[in-house]
Chain A
Amino acid sequence: MSRLAAKPILAAGAVLVFLASGYGQVQSVPVGRATDFTSDAYFEAPHERQVKVRLTGAEATPLPGGLLDVKKLKVETFNTAGRPELVVRAPHCTYAPLDGVANSAGHLELQSGDGKFRVEGDGFLWRQNESSLTISNRVRTVIEMPK
């Protein structure tokens, strides 16, 4: 089981710990509003000091049903050497911490760590536990890999 070391940097004294369910750890129920937050999840041993996933956002506001309204979400994944593998950006989404599911009717951008595989589209569903992403409209991919 992955170990999550959630280190949210919270503004305005908000109490909010989230984005942990996808890494196999029960997390706190969000109870307040957070701004400029960051949450890191780490690899299992022997790479337990390496960040596996880093999530940042400009603002997260609790919604009914344990959901979060997140603005300017950025998800970065890294390999065990610390190199970035994937960056996902969404200006706005709804996140279900207990299910590890995020969705939005809005825009989403994804790119590989080296920036040579880029995807964008409108409307998405992200299942953190399965590492799966569905983009439902106007998907555009640009690939600059060697040919």
Chain B
Amino acid sequence: MLFLLLFIALGSAVQAQTNAVKAAAGKAPPAPTEINSDAADFDLNARLAVYRGHVVVVDPQMKLKCDQLVVFIPPSGERLNHIEAQTNVVIDFADSHGQTTHALADLAVYRYLVQNGATNETVTLTGKPQVENSQGTLTGDQIVWDRANGRLTATNPYMKSKQNIQGTTNAAPLKLF
């Protein structure tokens, strides 16, 4: 049950955030995304930007740190649809209630795609991925944050409640499936 609660909590945090984004979309234009790094390479023919060294991305919804970030630059007027954060990836985001979620991975791939009227917006974490909030920690071979639908799913998931971490219960960590 603990894993389910954590899953719901994580999911609701994401859902709240997604709703907040949707609400914001109908009002003022979203705040810009800012990327800072030590260095960067731009291939203007391939529309590719590679940021290197102490990369920090600040977005209205989250803050991301990594060693290297690859941005596939879309044509003018189109939204960003493919970003890869590589090596020592750390992502922090908060929902509208201030609940923060902290994610770690070796690789995070953001994809945005509208297909047959359906929006797919995902962040796929691989390479020892871990997602943690105030209630617990989710690990797995791969964790997918479905931003469009407000869901977190994991391959071969493992859930650990904060209570276990803090030693307030003797129950063994729960393993999914």
Residues of A within 8 A of B (CB): 77, 83, 85-86, 110, 112-114, 116-117, 119, 121, 130-147
Contact = CB atoms under 8 A, between A and B. Distances in A.
A132 B42 contact: yes
Contact of A137 (B29, B39, B41): B39
Interface in B23-43: 25, 29-30, 32-43
B32 A144 contact: yes
**Most central of B30, B43, B44 by chain A CB within 10 Å:** B44
A36 to B, nearest CB: 26
Most buried by A among B43, B51, B74, B76: B76
A147 B80 contact: yes
Contacts, number: 84
Interface of B: 21, 25, 29-30, 32-45, 49, 51, 73-74, 76-80
Contact of A145 (B37, B38, B42, B78): B78
B49 A141 contact: yes
A139 B51 contact: yes
Contacts of A119: 40, 42, 49
Contact of B33 (A77, A85, A114, A143): A143
Contacts of B34: 140-143
A147 B79 contact: yes
Main secondary structure of the interface of A (DSSP, over half): strand
B38 A137 contact: yes
29 contacts: A85-B76, A112-B76, A114-B76, A117-B73, A130-B45, A131-B43, A133-B44, A134-B41, A135-B39, A135-B40, A136-B39, A137-B38, A138-B36, A139-B35, A139-B37, A139-B38, A139-B39, A139-B40, A140-B34, A141-B35, A142-B32, A142-B34, A143-B34, A143-B35, A144-B29, A144-B32, A145-B79, A147-B79, A147-B80
A143 B78 CA distance: 12
